Amino acid sequence: MQVVIDGRPLVGNRTGIGVHTAEIARRLDVTPPPIIGSHAEIADRHGLEHCRFAVDPYPLGVLWQQLSMPKIEGDVVWGPHGTLPVTLRTPAVVTIHDFTSITMPGRHRLKTILSFNLFIGRSLEMAHRVAAVSKAVADGTMRGFGVPASRIEIVPNGVDEFWTPGNGAEDDYLLYAGTLEPRKGVEDLIAVWSSLPEPRPRLILAGDPGWRTSIAGAPGVAVRGFVTRQELRDLYRGARAFIYPSRYEGFGLPPLEAMACGAPVIATRTGAIPDYAEGAAILISPASRAELRDAIVRMLGDTGLRQELRASGPERASHYRWDESARTMARLLAEAAACG
């Protein structure tokens, strides 16, 4: 079964959809190895060394997808970005991560809106199977586009043996990891952190700048930018608390990784976060600075609570594994290919 993968999420630093694409692609048990196509060079091929790459340079990824990708021969196509070429005749599976470019257009760049919104409806009609990263996304796919439940499968994000606890020691910092943009609630976090009485832990922000980023370093705030997997694991392990105040998520991977590494987690009830973190993290309402502040104060003042979450987080995260998600995706691709 020759699988062709839309590799646009792998161009640049791996964040979000790029991590999902890479972790599943590296584990797909198919022969021959998948072909990963893209409009630009994919510099980070970690874990994908066995795959084949087809790069056809285009100034815009969506132009490559619509004009060049249909020419790559295969038995089935996987669209991890949710959309497909409108002229595609090959059976396909698409993965849906969220619909924020439709529901929150003011929080995305114009090119993102155009490349997704113009093609998502037709892509969902064309796809033989639809993978949703969470139940919330699956519900939105059925409600917003009328896709029947029989065509949808939940293929969640996960962790693997890399994301493990350290020696249990904690350093004097709070950590956020993810794209630095308003939707992620980073400004809420900075405002709440600034209101904490001295002495307070440092605040470390790790992630690429995103849409309308105006995050600047201040005394006690370290803006680290994109960090490697190894650096991020070390940061998770040493954090006094990992804080993820996102206002909306399709899934919400960083809190799961943090839990796997033994970090005490504070996160908002959005996406799949309540599904995997309920009872193993402190969960708060999105956009509530009051709840966020109360949670941070409680976490910092209760050593026993932090120890309890350091123990329960890894066990809970162990139920979400990339191996299982890859097996599910391989089955969906085989089912779609059989329809060709």
pLDDT tens-digit series, residues 176-230: 999 998 889 999 999 999 999 999 999 999 998 877 666 766 678 999 999 999 9
Cα 48 to the chain's mean position, in Å?
A: 18
pLDDT tens-digit series, residues 222-233: 999 999 999 999
Helix H, strand E, coil C: the string for the chain is CCEEEECHHHCCCCCCHHHHHHHHHCCCCCCCCCEEEECCCCCCCCCCCCCEEEECCCCCHHHHHHHCHHHCCCCEEEECCCCCCCCCCCCEEEEECCCHHHHCHHHCCHHHHHHHHCCHHHHHHHCCEEEECCHHHHHHHHHHHCCCHHHEEECCCCECCCCCCCCCCCCCEEEEECCECHHHCHHHHHHHHHHCCCCCCEEEEECCECCCCCCCCCCCEEEEECCCHHHHHHHHHHCCEEEECCCCCCCCHHHHHHHHCCCCEEEECCCCHHHHHECCEEEECCCCHHHHHHHHHHHHHCHHHHHHHHHHHHHHHCCCEHHHHHHHHHHHHHHHHCCC
Burial class (CB in 10 A: 0-12, 13-18, 19+), 307: middle
Distance CA 332, CA 46 (A): 24
- CA angle at 163 for the pair 192 and 170, rounded to the nearest 5°: 50
Is the confidence at residue 135, as pLDDT, over 70?
yes
What rounded mean pLDDT belongs to the chain?
A: 94
Identify the band that residue 1 occupies on the pLDDT scale cut at 50, 70 and 90: very high
* pTM, 2 dp: 0.94
- Give residue for tokens 């026993």: 304
Identify the band that residue 103 occupies on the pLDDT scale cut at 50, 70 and 90: confident
Set out the domains of the chain in order of their start, with CATH numbers.
Answer: 3-158+321-335 (3.40.50.2000), 173-317 (3.40.50.2000)
pLDDT tens-digit series, residues 68-80: 999 999 999 999 9
Is the confidence at residue 289, as pLDDT, over 90?
yes
Structure tokens of 117? 């919104």
Identify the band that residue 111 occupies on the pLDDT scale cut at 50, 70 and 90: confident
pLDDT at 92: 98
pLDDT at 91: 98
Express as a percent the part of the chain with pLDDT over 90: 88
pLDDT at 319: 97
pLDDT at 105: 67
CB 50 within 8 Å of CB 187: no
- Give residue for tokens 């309540």: 274
For residue 54, give the nearest of 70, 72, 66, 67 by alpha carbon. Answer: 72
